[in-house]
Amino acid sequence: MPPPNTPVDGTTTPRSTQPSQPAQSSQSSQSASRPASSIIMDASQVKTAVVKMDYQAIDYVNPVDETLICPICRTAFHSPITTPCGHTFCAKCINRALERQRVCPIDRQPVDKTRDYRPIPLIIKEQLDRLEARCPNQGCDYVCARENLEAHYERHCEFTPVRCPKPGCDKLVARHLCSIEGQCMHETTNCDFCLKPVTFVDLDAHWEQECEAAFATCPDCGASVSVVNNSMLKHIQQDCPEATAKCTWEGAGCRVTDKRRLVREHERNGCMYETVGRLLEQQAEDRKIIQDLTRRLASLEAVRDTRRRGRRRDSAATINDRSAAAVAADGTLANPAASSAPLADGTTWESPHNYMLAQFERLESQMEELREMVCEMDMRQSASFLHHSQQVADRFLELGDKVGVLSMHTKWLLNMQYMQRNAQLRAANAASLTAGAAGAGNVGLSGSSDGGHHGGESSSGAGSSSSESGPRYQLGGRRGSEGRIETLTRL
């Protein structure tokens, strides 16, 4: 995963003064990991696929987790949906199953395809997208993340069946066989060697496997060699151990000429001219690099000159103010190199078409990266949200506990107060009984138990009257109950 600042890099058009920019852009177009040949493909060859890619035919590099496998087709889900009962199937598979019976194939709960399908969780989709998948075309061994495979299949794969190049022929043919415009690959031709009728499509296979006339015996070594596409000539010139050959270092001055296997032995034992030969090779390579650099320099200078000229003309024509013109000229001086960066990054584009194609690919891969990043951010965000809300819930629980403990304490304290008050009252009553009249004392006793009860549960507000005598206790009691409400609201 690239650091978060990459998209900024990526979204800037190749207009930047940093020298690292060309290197970066060439790297990112490589990171799309597509064969270079597909980028510089001729426009006429980019035929679109006729048949949709078959997801069930995809082979995965690693075993796919059982949870990602559709129970109906037994392959990794393709555009899956979830039923109300929580089971997931490929949309196509469940549709077929529901045509026969309108119940979930797993638990037989009724399912109505028009309104019961739910999307699958994003995380499953992502897992599916990331599966390393092999191109389903036979003969192709391209591997990439599954989400990119369809693009490979549709636009790049050499083995994707496309329409026959001959107008009117509705048969299909692998893309790499469409080399001749207008040539029907399904017409029969006669094999050049055995003269048997063979369709163009099968010609290669015929030569490789069936055609006996396509093989001949090498006059030198006696091996049976294919004669297709000058391969006999190639054999004699490059491989045949008995054919006459020259030493690899002939250019450096070696005069050895013998049967190839003897010459090879001579080379293995160390040809005297090898060191010289290697030096010459190195020199040639250096020269090539120098030529390339000179050519590039020339083109860059040309671009710069035209820019400068254009700018000067502009500034002379439109701006009279001298200092403003100077600023403008200054600002553009640094730019020509940058604006030609895509030209200078090692690839010379043969046509604007190819250039656009490459740019398109690069943008596509950047989009992909962005998408991945958004997904990741989404995941991270929801994870942190969960985390936070969990914390809040924990705090709530803790607070609830504390409140419980506090109310317990309050109860206990109040209780204690009540007990104390009772003890005091009893003492006071005993005193008044011994001191005052018996009748008044009786009233005081009943009143005190009542008022004391209220007061005991409440504040000490009633306490001041507690030591006073009989009839006033009624009042004290009432005051006590008011005080209790007050304390509750204060809590």
Write down the least CB distance from residue 282 to Zn ion, Å: 18
64 binds Zn ion per the rule CB under 5 A: no
Q: Which does 220 bind (CB under 5 to 8 A by kind): other proteins, Zn ion, none?
A: Zn ion
Tell which one of 39, 49, 93, 271 touches other proteins (CB under 8 A): 93
Is residue 71 a contact residue for other proteins (CB under 8 A)? yes
Residues of 333-366 as b/e, b for ≥16 C-beta within 10 angstroms?
eeebbbbbbbbbbebebeeeebbebbbebbeebb
Query: Of 26-34, 72-80, 336-344, 384-392, which segment contacts Zn ion by CB under 5 A?
Result: 72-80
Rounded to the nearest 5 percent, the helix, strand and coil shares of the chain are: 60, 10, 30
> Strand pairing partners for 259?
244
In the complex, the smallest distance separating the C-beta of residue 395 from Zn ion, rounded to whole angstroms, is: 39
List residues bridging with 188 in a β-sheet.
199
Q: Does 66 bind other proteins (CB under 8 A)?
A: no
DSSP β-ladder status, 80-82 and 143-145: unpaired
Among 36, 51, 356, 406, binds other proteins (CB under 8 A): 51
R_g over Cα of the chain = 46
105 binds other proteins (CB under 8 A): yes
Is residue 256 involved in binding Zn ion (CB under 5 A)?
yes
Q: Is 245 in the site for Zn ion (CB under 5 A)?
A: no
Q: How far apart are CA 323 and CA 327, in angstroms?
A: 6
Among 54, 59, 107, 281, binds Zn ion (CB under 5 A): 107
As given in the structure block, the two tokens for residue 56 are 């069930």
Distance CA 204, CA 179 (A): 14
Could you say whether residue 85 binds other proteins (CB under 8 A)? Answer: no
Residue 178 found at the interface with Zn ion (CB under 5 A) = no
Relative to beta strand 161-163, strand 172-174 is antiparallel
CA-CA-CA-CA torsion sign (184, 190, 193, 194): positive
Name which of Zn ion, other proteins, none residue 212 binds, using a CB cut-off of 5 to 8 Å depending on partner kind: none
For residue 52, give the DSSP letter.
Answer: P
Among 23, 57, 195, 488, binds other proteins (CB under 8 A): 57
Residue 254 contact, options other proteins, Zn ion, none, Cβ 5-8 Å cut-off depending on partner type? Zn ion
Residues binding Zn ion (CB under 5 A): 70, 72-73, 85, 87, 90, 93, 104, 106-107, 135, 137, 140, 142, 157, 164, 166, 169, 171, 184, 186, 191, 193-194, 211, 218, 220-221, 240, 247, 249, 254, 256, 271
